Amino acid sequence: MATLISERYREWESECEARFRQLKANEEKLNRIFIDIYGLQGELTPEVEDRDVTVRRADLKREIRSLISYAVGCMFGRYSLDVDGLAYAGGAWDASRYVTFQPVADNILPFTDENYLPDEDIITRFCIWLTAAYGAETLERNLSFIADALGNPGRTPRETVRAYFLNDFFNDHCATYSVTGSGKRPIYWLFDSGKQNGFKALIYIHRYDADTVGALRVDYLHRMQRIYASEMERMRDMEESSQDAREKASAAKRKEKLSRQLKECREYDEKIGHLALSRIALDLDDGVKANYRKLQTARDGKFYEVLANSKNIMSKEK
């Protein structure tokens, strides 16, 4: 049955508000009782400020970002639309837990600033997940609702979701998986080629194995380099053959952007190559910080920074 996320959110908002009001009333009732018992009527008031109530109200942007995080968890198999709670956090993989929606087989979710990988791109997979979870009939309306909640006017819903993954998702994820006084402990790790957004891909550490980096490099990073080279050639042909000045200028501008992205990917490939050949094994018992450094340290002991926000996540060298 098709479902609108907006309707589900309004139900959740009403439930949160009712819980909030009930708890506030209970706390104020208790305050009145204690004020009467101890004769503090002239010193204290029973009223409780909204900010001091110990349950939170619904917040649309926060809930939508949480929904996207859950969707990514389903894409990796951490969660499933068919079982409650965690579906996989290490150990034996049970394919029978995933019927309604299938996680990615290779534990890699690539994304770039345009939809160059139509079958594997994280935005495509997000739309497939929305369809599985809420129905095909409501996909476009649900996407629009999500995009409006995220903000970024002037873009299509898919462009807004893409911009969120490019710019904000990993930071939100790190903020969610953090320990006060000890730092960030992300369970999804972001391979990031740099500021040009040439290549990005998420992996789930509980499904990582020694071949993951090699698969990411060969199946996705190399493919993106071929795509950029092909698109540059197409822009070059358009620039040379077009009679429209605006079209020629647009082609030249995009060709320059693609050139920067291709250069970034080639430089990134050199670093990734050392790590892929090293076939690095991780021991999750060592913790995120140690493994974040270990994954970026080749067999020869040289460090190659390929993961996002390394400075703030990995452990210090001893």
pLDDT in tens, 291-313: 999 999 999 999 999 999 998 89
Tokens 């299509």 locate to 156
The pTM (predicted TM-score) of the whole model is 0.89
Neighbours of 29 (CB within 10 A): 10
Is residue 7 over pLDDT 90? yes
Tell me, rounded to whole angstroms, the distance of Cα 127 from its chain centroid.
14
Alpha carbon distance 68, 168 (integer Å): 12
Q: Are 188 and 74 in contact (CB under 8 A)?
A: no
Neighbours of 211 (CB within 10 A): 12
Mean residue pLDDT across the chain: 92
Listed residue (241, 261, 263) closest to 251, CA to CA = 241
Listed residue (12, 53, 49, 308) closest to 149, CA to CA = 12
Q: What is the mean pLDDT of residues 228-233?
A: 97
pLDDT in tens, 191-225: 999 999 999 999 999 999 999 999 999 999 999 99
